[in-house]
Amino acid sequence: MDFVQEPPTSPDQKQKKTLETRLRAVLSGIIDRRTGKDVLTGGLVTGHSVRISEAGARATITLELPGGPGQQNDRLSAEIEEAARAIDGIADVALVQTSHRAAPKSPAQRPAGGHANPLGLGGKTEGGKTATEEKPIPGVKHVIAIASGKGGVGKSTLAANLAAAFAQAGFRTGLVDADISGPSLPVLFGLKSRAEFRDGKIQPMLAHGVKAMSIGLLVSEDKAVAWRGPMVMGAVRQLFTDVDWGELDILFVDTPPGTGDAHLTLLQKIPVSGAVIISTPQEMALADVRRGAALFTSMNTPVLGIVENMAWFALPDGSRQRLFGEGGVARTAAALGLDVLATLPLEPAIATASDAGRPYVLEAPQSESAGVIRDIAVQIAAKLALVPAGGDA
Ligand SMILES: Nc1ncnc2c1ncn2[C@@H]1O[C@H](COP(=O)(O)OP(=O)(O)OP(=O)(O)O)[C@@H](O)[C@H]1O
Give per-residue pLDDT as tens, 68-114. 667 778 788 888 988 898 888 888 887 776 544 333 323 223 332 22
* Residue 232 burial (C-beta neighbours within 10 Å; 0-12, 13-18, 19+): buried
Does 277 score more than 60 pLDDT? yes
pLDDT at 1: 28
pLDDT at 126: 32
List phi, psi (to 5°) of 278.
-115, 145
Q: Which of 186, 275, 200 is nearest to 238 (CA)?
A: 200
Q: Whose CA is nearest to atom 15 of ligand 1?
A: 154
Type of residue numbered 298: S
Return mean pLDDT, the chain. Answer: 82
Q: Which of 44, 48, 69, 58 is nearest to 237 (CA)?
A: 69
Nearest atom (ligand 1) to Cα of 151? 26
pLDDT at 365: 97
Window from 110-119, 249-258, 317-326 with minimum mean pLDDT: 110-119
324-372 pLDDT, tens digit per residue, is: 888 899 999 999 999 999 999 999 999 999 999 999 999 999 999 999 9
Domains in the chain: ranges and CATH: 11-97 (3.30.300.130), 107-383 (3.40.50.300)
Does 391 score more than 80 pLDDT? no
Q: Is 174 annotated as a binding residue?
A: no
Q: Which of 262, 212, 200 is nearest to 74 (CA)?
A: 200
Distance, in Å, from the CA atom of 216 to the CA atom of 366, rounded to the nearest integer, reads 31
pLDDT at 213: 95
Question: Which of the pair, 131 or 326, is modelled with greater confidence?
Answer: 326
Q: Whose CA is nearest to atom 2 of ligand 1?
A: 346
Distance, in Å, from the CA atom of 275 to the CA atom of 296, rounded to the nearest integer, reads 7
Question: Which residues on neighbouring strands pair with residue 211, listed in sequence order?
Answer: 174, 206
Window from 92-96, 120-124, 310-314 with minimum mean pLDDT: 120-124
Asked if residue 271 has its Cβ within 6 Å of ligand 1, the reply is: no
pTM: 0.69
Asked if residue 344 has its Cβ within 6 Å of ligand 1, the reply is: yes
List phi, psi (to 5°) of 19.
-70, -35
Window from 222-236, 306-320, 336-350 with minimum mean pLDDT: 222-236
Q: What is the longest distance spanned by two Cα atoms in the chain?
A: 77
pLDDT at 291: 87
Burial 306-332 (b: 16+ CB within 10 A, else e): bbbbbbbeeeeeeeeeeebeeebbeeb
CA 167 to chain CA centroid, Å, is 19
Residues 6 or more apart whose Cβ sits within 8 Å of residue 318: none
Distance, in Å, from the CA atom of 357 to the CA atom of 368, rounded to the nearest integer, reads 20
Cα-based distances in Å from 283 to 175, 323, 324, 332: 29, 12, 8, 10
Window from 29-43, 155-169, 358-372 with minimum mean pLDDT: 29-43
Does 311 score more than 80 pLDDT? yes
Q: Which of 156, 225, 352 to mutate to test the pocket of ligand 1 (most atoms within 8 A of CB)?
A: 156
Confidence of residue 377 (pLDDT cuts 50, 70, 90): very high
Distance, in Å, from the CA atom of 390 to the CA atom of 393, rounded to the nearest integer, reads 10
Confidence of residue 121 (pLDDT cuts 50, 70, 90): very low
Q: How far, in Å, is the centroid of ligand 1 from the Cα of 320? A: 20
Question: Which residues on neighbouring strands pair with residue 274, listed in sequence order?
Answer: 144
* Average pLDDT estimate for 215-241: 80
ipTM above 0.90, yes or no: yes
Asked if residue 230 has its Cβ within 6 Å of ligand 1, the reply is: no
Find out whether 344 and 372 touch, Cβ atoms under 8 Å: yes
Find out whether 137 and 114 touch, Cβ atoms under 8 Å: yes
Does 323 score more than 60 pLDDT? yes
173-212 pLDDT, tens digit per residue, is: 999 999 888 899 999 999 988 899 888 889 999 999 999 9
Geometric angle at alpha carbon 269, from 201 and 338, rounded to 5°: 120
pLDDT at 389: 62
Find out whether 286 and 154 touch, Cβ atoms under 8 Å: no
Question: Which residues on neighbouring strands pair with residue 305, listed in sequence order?
Answer: 276
Confidence of residue 320 (pLDDT cuts 50, 70, 90): very high
* Average pLDDT estimate for 159-176: 97
Listing DSSP states for 107-153 in one string gives GGGSPTT-SSSTT--TTS-SS-S-TTT----TTEEEEEEEE-SSTTS
